[in-house]
Amino acid sequence: MNTATKEINSSLLSTQNKNTDIKGKLIVGVTQLAVFTIIAVLFIILGIIVYEGREKFSWEFISSFPTNGMTEGGIFPALIGTFILVIVMSIAAVPFGTITAIYLTEYASESSKFAAAVRFSVRTLAVVPSIIFGLFGLGFFIQFIGAGFDTAFNGGQLRWGQPNILWASLTMSLLTLPVIIVSVEEALKTIPRELREASLALGATKWQTIKNVVLPGSISGIMTGTILAVSRGAGEVAPILFTGAAYYLASLPGSLSDQFMNLGYHIYIMATQSSDVEKTMPIQFATTLVLLILTLSLNLVAVVIRSRIRRKAK
């Protein structure tokens, strides 16, 4: 009796297993296919851009000015413009992002409504469409602050109340603020409580603990955040469309009140408004390749640092 039921049971189980195995394999296969599709598309995009951009991609291309009405030559000013943009952006965004992250991890209590509001705003900042930042930069930085500054100190002469690299960078820094906050917060959380408690027990105050114990431990987190922010800022175009990017400039920007050329904007303008799209195709692909190399390698560095932090935390 016992053995019989056991046999029946086991046979039932096995048939069920067989049936479900086929179904199960199919289902797992479908999910695998989804992963495979995403990865394949990613590498196809990468491959095509590398393939099409390779012939034009050279040191000369990177280090020379565009010539002949932007149909020949290099992308040097666009590259420099992008560099200045991300540097000014980092100078503005990194301190603010770091301090906000310190507030969220060190000072805010769990139940604090204010901290919850800060968190919510940071997440909202992360999802606001980038074009809205552009509008804000135009309405706030240029029309309000810049034009206000001009009428107050420049005697009404237009200098700051117009699109320029400073306003573009500040606009971009708002966009990348959440990126920095999130990475620094993550890094701060990995610092063990014991370290903080040891410092406090030795008589250090809270601020001294943060300054001497917590911050040095989170340098790599701040670096990750900065790198990710730079990678994001280098690639975004929508916020700078009307806050400072220029189609073509014969010289590099000399001051913060100048307009600038930008890699992403260069791609956009060359692909849609160039006088001869067909002829400049290799230039466009090579510019895209440069931008991709820039953002992807920065991201790769950030990923490596981040995984190191995580391993340390374990």
Nearest distance, CB of residue 279 and another protein, angstroms: 14
Radius of gyration of the chain (CA): 26
> Phi/psi of residue 112, each to 5°?
-65, 125
Residue burial 143-168, b: 16+ Cβ < 10 Å; e: rest: eeebbeebeeeeeeeeebbebbbbbb
Closer residue to another protein, CB minimum distance, 83 or 140: 140
Nearest distance, CB of residue 85 and another protein, angstroms: 13
Nearest distance, CB of residue 32 and another protein, angstroms: 6
Comparing CA positions, the residue from 267, 266, 258 lying closest to residue 163 is 258
> Phi/psi of residue 66, each to 5°?
-65, 145
Nearest distance, CB of residue 193 and another protein, angstroms: 19
Nearest distance, CB of residue 195 and another protein, angstroms: 19
Q: How far is CA 251 from the centre of its chain?
A: 28
Closer residue to another protein, CB minimum distance, 7 or 21: 21
Nearest distance, CB of residue 63 and another protein, angstroms: 21
Using DSSP, state whether 245 is helix, strand or coil. Answer: strand
Closer residue to another protein, CB minimum distance, 74 or 239: 239
Give the C-alpha distances (Å, rounded to integers) separating 245 from 73, 82, 239, 240, 269.
19, 10, 9, 6, 11
Closer residue to another protein, CB minimum distance, 85 or 210: 210
Nearest distance, CB of residue 232 and another protein, angstroms: 8
List, as own/partner pairs, every contact residues 296-303 make where C-beta atoms lie below 8 angstroms and the sequence separation is at least 24, other chains included. 298/227, 298/228, 298/230, 298/231, 298/234, 299/227, 299/228, 299/231, 301/227, 302/183, 302/224, 302/227, 302/228, 302/231
Closer residue to another protein, CB minimum distance, 49 or 88: 49
Closer residue to another protein, CB minimum distance, 4 or 26: 26
Helical pair 219-235 and 281-313, crossing angle rounded to 10 deg: 160
Closer residue to another protein, CB minimum distance, 2 or 31: 31
Nearest distance, CB of residue 141 and another protein, angstroms: 9
Closer residue to another protein, CB minimum distance, 249 or 256: 249
Comparing CA positions, the residue from 89, 133, 93 lying closest to residue 237 is 133
d(CA 248, CA 240): 14
d(CA 87, CA 128): 23
